[in-house]
């Protein structure tokens, strides 16, 4: 059971703002051989590059191959992703682009080279995109682990590279229009292929498309880019290396256990194929609405870019603090200007669905309260980010948490039907809205049900509103929080009661050593 407190949140926000004075934030230009790994939180680079997002379209099909979302379904999906991650990782290393992130089914990589030649960068990105498509078409194993169907989005332009602030993950985060628009093109439909923004099309002399999401590159256009790029790597060489690696370093069987709540104690960096987590939980996505436009309006000047860096770090840090400190949840990762997290109440074996959903509702509402407070404090300290909004979506159901990919470069993965639905719920929100998934809505308390209504969406849902409305409808979690707040902090002194004692005996049933 978590709680949010305005004074506590204010102290956190002010401390974060004070730790990032504008005079200490450095905005630099990305030049030849700049190393973007391990950026400090006060440094950002302005990078002119081509952004590539590659989405695996058949991930959802794989998750829905069985009626029940059980272990078999999750093991198949994770092995499927792991195989394709390994192949894509090899491609990125071979073509010299910057790895940004794998977020479940979505790969993000950036081409800053060749310098001062946008056309050559776009050609190289297109050639690499086709390489990814062709390689992943051959890296399936069987009907349970098929080849991946891929849709790629590409855009070009200036973005800000900042530190993504994740222990064990030193890759940079890119903020701005080209990253956002490339992502939108990869997620803009269900048809496979390579989809360029008109900015990227113009860079290589292609005519403008009336609808970029339904205008994939033709075979001739792709061939022209491949000829211009002259990549010194082939589909056959990548597939051969991938197969040898799979033989020498087999993935092995996924072994799941439940994590004893709260999720805040889960060390994701310790997870692996043989030490993965799986249980019922609530998954949340909180996305900064309007951030791409905010970056685009401010990236041109150093003074403006400094405000972008400060706003991003303060806002994301506070959303994470609400989830982790106030509600004992766990951030899985930052995805650009979005946070993805998990929360559960109960035991490692049995999650309390009603309490988990009530707590996640209060957590989402607290995130909005903290967000609004952070915007106010930022403006008072000279950084006006009041154009931003916060879209929040959450869902409940079985989740997985593990790390996949190449040894020495494992990436976090938390995937399930509910996680995909949580992201979809966030996507249907406007700037100030919170949405609850269908499964969570079907299992929640009457108090949560009443908050969201038949459309399962609510505007301006802050912490006080959620707490009062839920407790008014007899939500046990909300009522317990209000009752605890009403108890005086000082109680009359009383003599200590005799401590309880229990005889020593083995507990049971036991679980193998090393499992939570």
- For residues 229 and 188, membership in a common domain is answered with yes
Q: What is the pLDDT of residues 264-285, one digit of tens each?
A: 999 999 999 999 999 999 999 9
pTM over 0.75: yes
- For residues 214 and 270, membership in a common domain is answered with no
Nearest to 272, CA basis, from 408, 434, 151, 416: 408
Q: Is there a domain that residue 505 lies in?
A: no
The CA distance from 232 to 409, in Å, is: 23
Beta bridge partners of 157: 49
Mean pLDDT of 77-101: 94
The length of the chain, given as a count of residues: 516
Q: What is the mean pLDDT of the chain?
A: 92
Q: Is the pLDDT of residue 504 over 50?
A: no
Mean pLDDT of 477-488: 90
The CA distance from 333 to 284, in Å, is: 11
Share of the chain above pLDDT 70, in %: 93
- For residues 262 and 220, membership in a common domain is answered with no
- For residues 191 and 68, membership in a common domain is answered with yes
- For residues 330 and 394, membership in a common domain is answered with yes
The CA distance from 90 to 286, in Å, is: 31
Strands 43-56 and 150-163: antiparallel
**169 or 12, higher pLDDT:** 12
Mean pLDDT of 321-326: 98
pLDDT for the residue 165: 65
The CA distance from 34 to 24, in Å, is: 20
The CA distance from 356 to 343, in Å, is: 7
- For residues 312 and 216, membership in a common domain is answered with no
- For residues 295 and 196, membership in a common domain is answered with no
Q: Is there a domain that residue 467 lies in?
A: yes
Q: Is there a domain that residue 30 lies in?
A: no
pLDDT level of residue 516 (50, 70, 90 thresholds): very low
The CA distance from 389 to 484, in Å, is: 32
Mean pLDDT of 429-439: 97
The CA distance from 509 to 503, in Å, is: 17
CB-count exposure of residue 183 (10 Å: 0-12, 13-18, 19+): buried
Q: Which domain holds residue 188?
A: 35-248
Q: What is the pLDDT of residues 446-468, one digit of tens each?
A: 999 999 999 999 999 999 999 99
Q: What is the pLDDT of residues 168-202, one digit of tens each?
A: 445 689 999 999 999 999 999 999 999 999 999 99
pLDDT for the residue 509: 42
- For residues 273 and 335, membership in a common domain is answered with yes
- For residues 329 and 470, membership in a common domain is answered with yes
Q: Is there a domain that residue 106 lies in?
A: yes
> Residue 136: how many CB atoms within 10 A of its CB?
25
Q: Is there a domain that residue 314 lies in?
A: yes
Nearest to 439, CA basis, from 393, 390, 391: 393
Mean pLDDT of 20-36: 91
Q: Is the peptide bond before 234 cis (omega within 30 degrees of 0)?
A: no
Q: Domain end: 218, 248, 278, which one? A: 248
What is 427-484 written as a DSSP string? Answer: HT--TTEEEE-HHHHHHS-HHHHHHHTTTTEEES--HHHHHHHHHHTT-HHHHHHHHH
Mean pLDDT of 219-245: 97
Contact 97, 52 (CB under 8 A): yes
- For residues 243 and 260, membership in a common domain is answered with no
Total number of domains in the chain? 2
Contact 173, 162 (CB under 8 A): yes
The CA distance from 214 to 349, in Å, is: 46
Contacts of 360 (CB under 8 A, 6+ apart): 282, 284, 327, 329, 343, 394, 396, 440
Nearest to 78, CA basis, from 398, 352, 439: 398
SS3 201: helix
- For residues 195 and 279, membership in a common domain is answered with no
CATH number of residue 366's parent domain = 3.30.70.1230
Share of the chain above pLDDT 90, in %: 85
Mean pLDDT of 363-370: 98
Q: Is the pLDDT of residue 496 over 70?
A: no
Strands 433-436 and 389-406: parallel
pLDDT for the residue 456: 98
Characterize 355-371 residue by residue with b for buried, 16 or more Cβ atoms within 10 angstroms of its Cβ, and e for exposed: bbbbbbbbbbbbbbbbb
Q: Which H helix or E strand runs over 227?
A: helix 219-229
Contact 296, 177 (CB under 8 A): yes
The CA distance from 411 to 400, in Å, is: 14
pLDDT for the residue 505: 41
Half-sphere exposure of 109 (CA within 13 A, CB side): 27
């Amino acid at each position: 059971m978590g709680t949010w407190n305005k004074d506590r949140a204010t102290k956190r926000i002010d401390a974060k703002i004070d730790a990032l004075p504008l005079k200490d934030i450095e905005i630099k230009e990305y030049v030849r051989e700049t190393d973007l790994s391990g950026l400090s939180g006060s440094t950002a680079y302005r990078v002119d590059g081509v952004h590539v997002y590659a989405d695996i379209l058949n991930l959802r099909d794989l998750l829905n191959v069985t009626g029940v979302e059980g272990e078999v379904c999750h093991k198949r999906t994770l092995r499927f992703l792991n195989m394709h991650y390994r192949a894509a990782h090899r491609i990125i290393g071979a073509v010299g682009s910057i790895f940004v992130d794998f977020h479940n089914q979505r790969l993000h990589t950036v081409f800053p080279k060749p310098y001062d030649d946008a056309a050559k960068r776009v050609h190289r990105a297109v050639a690499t995109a086709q390489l990814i498509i062709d390689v992943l078409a051959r890296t399936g194993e069987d009907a349970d682990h098929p080849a991946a169907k891929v849709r790629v989005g590409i855009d070009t332009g200036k973005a800000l590279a900042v530190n993504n602030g994740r222990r064990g993950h030193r890759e940079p985060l890119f903020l701005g229009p080209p990253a956002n628009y490339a992502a939108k093109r990869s997620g803009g439909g269900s048809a496979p292929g390579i989809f360029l923004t008109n900015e990227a099309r113009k860079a290589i002399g292609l005519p403008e498309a009336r609808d970029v999401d339904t205008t994939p590159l033709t075979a001739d256009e792709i061939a022209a880019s491949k000829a211009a790029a002259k990549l010194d790597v082939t589909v056959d060489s990548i597939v051969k290396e991938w197969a040898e690696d799979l033989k020498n370093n087999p993935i092995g069987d996924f072994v799941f256990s439940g994590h004893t709540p709260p999720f805040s104690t889960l060390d994701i960096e310790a997870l692996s194929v043989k030490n993965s987590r799986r249980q019922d939980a609530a998954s949340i996505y909180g996305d900064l609405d309007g951030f791409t436009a905010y970056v685009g309006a401010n990236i041109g000047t150093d003074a403006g870019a400094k405000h972008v860096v400060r706003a991003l770090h303060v806002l994301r840090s506070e959303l994470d603090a609400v989830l982790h400190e106030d509600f004992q949840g766990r951030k899985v990762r930052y995805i650009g200007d979005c946070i993805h997290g998990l929360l559960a109440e109960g035991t490692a074996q049995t999650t309390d669905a009603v309490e988990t959903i009530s707590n996640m509702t209060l957590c989402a509402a607290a995130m909005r309260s903290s967000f609004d407070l952070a915007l106010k404090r930022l403006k008072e300290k000279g950084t006006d980010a009041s154009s931003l909004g916060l879209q929040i979506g959450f869902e409940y159901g079985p989740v997985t948490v593990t790390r996949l990919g190449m040894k020495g470069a494992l990436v976090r993965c938390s995937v399930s039907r509910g996680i995909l639905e949580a992201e979809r719920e966030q996507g249907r929100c406007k700037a100030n809205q919170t949405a609850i998934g269908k499964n969570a809505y079907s299992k929640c308390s009457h108090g949560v049900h009443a908050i969201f209504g038949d459309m399962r969406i609510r505007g301006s849902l802050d912490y006080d509103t959620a707490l009062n409305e839920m407790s008014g409808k007899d939500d046990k979690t909300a009522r317990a929080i209000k009752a605890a707040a009403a108890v005086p902090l000082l109680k009359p002194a009383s003599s200590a009661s005799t401590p309880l004692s229990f005889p020593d005996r083995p507990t049971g049933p036991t679980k193998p050593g090393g499992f939570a």
